[in-house]
Amino acid sequence: MRNLKLLLQREPAAIGSLVASIMPVLVLLGVVRIDEAGIAAVVVAVNTLVGFATRLAVTPVATQPEPTVALRPAERLTT
C-alpha cells in the first residue's frame, strides 16, 4: 500500500493515462457508447479525482495543540 501511495504521489496522472488507453478498447468492443469528447471528459475527471484523493492520502494532517485552561483568580492565589 505504501508503494502505491508513493507511486501515485509521484505520478497521479498515470491512472488517467490508463483510462485513456482502455476506453477506446471498450468503445470498439461495444461495452461503452461514448465519443472522443466523452472519453476526454472521463480522463480529465479521473485525473482530477485521483489527484485530489492522492493529495488527501499523502498529505500529513496537522494536529492542533491542546487548549490550555486559564485559572480563575481565586485559584491563582492558592497555588
Q: Residues 10-40: pLDDT tens digits?
A: 777 777 778 888 888 888 899 989 888 988 8
> CA angle, 76 as apex, 73 and 79 as ends, to 5°?
155
Distances in whole angstroms, Cα of residue 67 to Cα of each of 61, 63, 74 = 18, 12, 21
Q: What is the pTM of this model?
A: 0.57
Taking only the tens place, the pLDDT of each residue in 57-75 is 777 666 666 666 666 666 5
Under the phi-then-psi rule, with left for phi > 0, alpha for psi from -120 to 50, and beta for the rest, what region is 65?
Answer: beta
Contact predicate 44/15, CB 8 Å? no
Taking only the tens place, the pLDDT of each residue in 43-59 is 888 888 887 887 777 77
Looking at residue 29, its pLDDT comes to 92
Looking at residue 53, its pLDDT comes to 80
